[in-house]
Amino acid sequence: MLGADLANPDPDSKDTKVTADMTLFIEKSIDKYDLELEPIKYFILPGGSIESSLLHVCRTIVRRTETTSVALAKSQVINNEILAYLNRLSDLLFVLARLANKRQNIQDIPWRNTN
């Protein structure tokens, strides 16, 4: 759907579009899963369980898609909801990666400054 939206960015098109409701669904999902997690007060490194690691890989792909879409938006008209959707999707993948570790009793890996 997102790809189709980018392929035909005409705002008057009847093609399926990324909508604010889709972004809101992701935000509600983040809130739901975040309830199971302890707040973090430090940066964490991707990793832990295999599931968490794969979710972090997916998150980085979504972030790359987001930054590419931001660059595209500077030269082309696109549905601005795409940017919000991608941002929230990467946040959801981060929360799910942490949750995958927690449910397997694996600690998040804190980033440590080695300098």
Domain housing 71:
47-110
CA trace torsion 96, 50, 90, 1 (10° rounding): -100
Q: Which pLDDT score, from 0 to 100, does residue 16 have?
A: 66
In a domain, 27, yes or no: no
Q: Which tens digit of pLDDT belongs to each residue from 53-97?
A: 999 999 999 999 999 999 999 999 888 899 999 999 999 999 999
In a domain, 88, yes or no: yes
Q: Which tens digit of pLDDT belongs to each residue from 14-44?
A: 676 899 999 999 999 999 999 999 998 889 8
Q: Is the pLDDT of residue 110 over 90?
A: no
Q: What is the pTM of this model?
A: 0.89
Residue type, 22: M
Q: Which residues contact 73 (CB under 8 A, 6 or more apart)?
A: 80, 83
In a domain, 71, yes or no: yes
SS3 of residue 45 by DSSP: strand
Residue 98: give its domain's CATH number: 1.20.1200.10
Ordered DSSP codes for 39-86: ---S-EES-SSHHHHHHHHHHHHHHHHHHHHHHHHHHS---THHHHHH
Residue type, 17: K
Q: For the chain, what is the domain count?
A: 1
What phi and psi values does residue 111 have, to the nearest 5 degrees? -80, 135
In a domain, 30, yes or no: no
Query: How many residues in the chain?
Result: 115
